[in-house]
Amino acid sequence: MSKVGIIGYGVVGSGTVELFEKNKESISKKVGRDCDIKYICDLRDFPGDPFEDKLVKDFNVILNDEEIEVVAEVVGGATFAYEYTKKLLERGKSVVTSNKELVATHGAELLSIARAHNCNYLFEASVGGGIPIIRPLNKCLAGNEIEQISGILNGTTNFILSKMIKDQMDFESALKMAQELGYAEKDPTADVEGHDACRKICILGSLAYGKQIYPETVHCSGISRITLDDVEYAENAGYAIKLIGSVKPAGEGHVSAIVCPRLVSKSNLLASVDDVYNAISVTGDGVGDVLFYGQGAGKLPTASAVVGDIIDCLKHHNRVLAMSWEDSHDKSYVVDYKTQETSMYVRIKAEDADALKPAISEMFGKLMYIERAGRPENELAFITPNMVEADIDTNLTILSHSCEIASKIRLL
């Protein structure tokens, strides 16, 4: 019989146990032998829990049990989880995880340890919750050169922006609702400032381009400064504002990666992704554009991906699955985002904003001005042509001597 261990009995851990036990018979058929969860490791007590007999508090019980073939690490973070994962892989036990921080920070090292010890490190649940994206990138799309990956990678921010767009709620009110519904943490910083999405795009980029992209090398900005004024201008111009993580080749063996709010054209399918849903667009030179869509978080959707990885590891016991990327210590691997071309939505405030139009046109050339109902005389919004971002910033610095730069948002 194949034995499995679970480390962490929180939302994802309990969901993993629930789904595994519910579908144990069909899982055993897929694996080709009987399977069972032997241990659930957590420091807390769960009196009366239906799986109380499987609960242990000592990680070493799982580590030292030779019957355990696969361990699901759903603790989170990159401290204890890192040490646990290393020790398990070094013992030849495969590890599956939903821990995006750990994969984004130590993925290359842990994949290398797994290969060296004839086991696997799988992390389908680390990006997009229940949305299959890691396997398709690694297998189905492996024959393509990936030209770009762009996606809505965080359900909390997408929910907040959806409320701002559809219900005209301001940011603070939408955030409060997200917290009340359990979509946002008490401290929402990782979500609303883009750190969560950043870790996910780092994982996708590392897999697609074969070299570790570290979160600290990726420019990241969140949605906390988006206003209803920006939402209205975007809507009138045919765009929706979304927090987008993107990565693409930047020539000479480098990549461009960034997480930021963007104006997304209504003709782009990403613009219609609302509520807590995620969507990831992948462009390959052979397949063209493909879109992966679904619930990006939640107890059972994430557990679905964890259990899928457990099955994969059990089916391929003592056989390494082909998934890896190189470590990267070259800080220039991710290019400076200011050197990349983009088009920018800009909103300014001045005593007589319209009077600045000639100067703005002289700076940027052909651009598009945007209107909204009841636009104040002291406000002006426009979209720049496609330019190197550093040049846009230079022009805006000059312009700021005559007005306030109230907002700027990149276009996708």
The catalytic residues are 200
Residue 261 to residue 265: CA distance in whole angstroms: 13
Positive or negative: CA dihedral 189, 193, 199, 204? positive
Contacts of 80 (CB under 8 A, 6+ apart): none
Question: What is the amino acid identity at position 149?
Answer: I
Phi, psi of 123 (to 5 degrees): -150, 40
Q: Strands (DSSP E) along 350-412, which ranges?
A: 368-370, 379-383, 387-388, 404-411
How is residue 24 annotated by DSSP?
H
Say if CB 81 and CB 73 are below 8 A apart: yes
- Gap between the terminal Cα atoms of the chain: 50
How is residue 39 annotated by DSSP?
E
Burial class of residue 276 (count of CB atoms within 10 Å of its CB; 0-12, 13-18, 19+): buried
